[in-house]
Amino acid sequence: MTGALIQAAAGAGPTGKGLKGGALGFISSVVIGVASTAPGYSLATALGLVTAAVGFQAPAIMWLAFLPTLFIAAAYFYLNKADPDCGTTFSWATRAFSPWVGWLGGWVIIVTDVFVMPSLAEIAGRYSLLLVGARAAAGHRFWVVLVGVAWIAVLTAICYRGIELSARTQWLLLATEIATLIVFSIVALVKVYSMASRGMVRPTWEWVNPFAIDSTSALTAGLLAAVFIYWGWDTTLSVNEETESSSVMPGLAALTSTIALVTIYVLVSIAGVGVHGPEFLSAHSDDVLSALGTAVLAPPWDRLLIFAVLTSALASTQTTILPTTRTVLSMAAHGAIPPYFARIEPRFQTPSTATIWMGVCSIAWYTGLSLVSENVLLDSVASLGLMIALYYALTGLACVWFYRREVLTSARKALLIGVVPLTGAVIMLAVLVRSVVDLAKPEKAASHTSWGGFGPPLVIAIGALVLGIGLMLARRWSSGEFFQRGIAAPE
């Protein structure tokens, strides 16, 4: 790549950073938001954990966990309305609180996205091999990592080539995934109601009633297992500068995508619980959909569920690259990190340097952890909940503080830019505290080891935050202009 193919983002293009403004419509934005959460993969790995906690009330947990997500989505909507910056939490927290808080908010988003990439690549690698019948290779670390790394490289290249190509790829992947999940749910429910064979249970209204859960501890455990399966919808806001009507449409797309997600999750969880009951799902919590496949879809059609999880992981891998690179671009364009990272590829109008580095860091992190230990890889993924809760809570609080002079001017504003985002932030802070308590226990780590008396996931999360603080201080020392002036308030 030559210097002639790269330009600095500042002042370039219709968005001011060089991105391609108006490239995405409302539907494409919703598709990206839904795909970012990887609904197939999320259900495959979370549904069994939820049923282990609350049994038949798993569908109730699915919609209950949706509420804090909806509250935080409202905060994103109103902050984006005032300031449609692709840096999202970084930009908003900087303006609401201080450059220091905003910088750490951006860092947490970057770390979270890099940390989740090995998990997604692992699933993509293993399920690609399973789909073609290479079961022996799917159980071998070398081949799984090799295919996973190849997928990261391919999807990074797609993101580099432009937001429209990324959106078209998402359309294809998500359509396949959602169609499979709907077919699975319909066939499962038809069998439950018409065949009523051994192990099948007909759904009742109690399944969607959270008050039927018999203990607070079970309710809390179920919520903790389910609340993060909605994570990822905020990608619609990260591509706001490339979306039509950037101040309004991305926020509406985010709200719409969360509603679509809760519909999918409740439907599939009802179907899954009905087919075999909660005990079966709990016993196969590592991959519920594959376990249910042969009972619902006869061979070879049961491979559709393998394909659904694969396309889910691939779609989420791609849409994890998008918000990271846009956050990096925004931080660089505002001077929070070196301007080198704000370079734009003029032909495709994508953040070229940030995209390449995201791919390189993801591959390095994945292969590095795989060489060390698969359990350490799992422990790094377990630390994600803490960091997700942190930046979601920060965004909710930023909304309330940003609009503090307006929040009491009417009952409507008090509710929508006050009570709702604040409630979401408080819930996320409670989840954060509970995550710290759980992650501190070595026996709950995948490796079942103690690092300095604490569980490895908590140590990894704290280590990432400490590294971020160190980098922030280094940037302040080398170029302190951003920390002195922050970001100018929007008009």
Pairing of strands 7-8, 343-344: antiparallel
When pLDDT is cut at 50, 70 and 90, the band that residue 373 belongs to is confident
Q: Biggest alpha carbon distance in the chain?
A: 70
Distance (Å) of CA 72 to CA 60, 103, 417, 423, 465: 20, 20, 10, 9, 22
Residue that wins the pLDDT comparison between 17 and 29: 29
Question: Does 22 have pLDDT greater than 50?
Answer: yes
Mean pLDDT of 228-242: 91
Q: How high is the pLDDT of residue 276?
A: 85
Q: 58-82: per-residue pLDDT in tens?
A: 999 999 999 999 999 999 999 999 9
Q: How high is the pLDDT of residue 491?
A: 55
Distance (Å) of CA 329 to CA 10, 51, 333, 338, 418: 10, 41, 6, 10, 30
Structural domain containing residue 363? 20-382
Q: Would you say the pTM of this structure is higher than 0.85?
A: yes
Q: 335-349: per-residue pLDDT in tens?
A: 999 999 999 999 989
Q: How high is the pLDDT of residue 8?
A: 33
- Burial of 429 by CB count in 10 Å (0-12 exposed, 13-18 middle, 19+ buried)? middle
Q: Which two tokens stand for residue 197?
A: 């064979």
When pLDDT is cut at 50, 70 and 90, the band that residue 14 belongs to is very low
Question: Does 13 have pLDDT greater than 60?
Answer: no
Beta-bridge partners for 451: 454
In a domain, 325, yes or no: yes
Nearest to 276, CA basis, from 289, 286, 265, 267: 289
Q: How high is the pLDDT of residue 15?
A: 47
In a domain, 178, yes or no: yes
Total domains in the fold of the chain: 1
Calpha distance 160→155 (Å, rounded): 9
Q: 144-200: per-residue pLDDT in tens?
A: 999 999 999 999 999 999 888 888 898 988 898 999 999 999 998 998 888 666 668
Q: How high is the pLDDT of residue 196?
A: 62
In a domain, 404, yes or no: no
Q: How high is the pLDDT of residue 1?
A: 30
Nearest to 224, CA basis, from 428, 464, 456: 428
Q: How large is the angle between the packed helices 99-131 and 456-478, nearest 10 degrees? A: 130
* Least reliable range by pLDDT among 71-85, 214-228, 238-252: 214-228
When pLDDT is cut at 50, 70 and 90, the band that residue 391 belongs to is very high
Q: 88-146: per-residue pLDDT in tens?
A: 999 999 999 999 999 999 999 999 999 999 989 999 999 999 888 898 998 899 999 99
When pLDDT is cut at 50, 70 and 90, the band that residue 50 belongs to is very high
What is the DSSP-derived secondary structure letter of residue 32? H
CATH number for position 181:
1.20.1740.10
Amino acid at 39: P
Beta-bridge partners for 17: 12
In a domain, 457, yes or no: no
In a domain, 389, yes or no: no
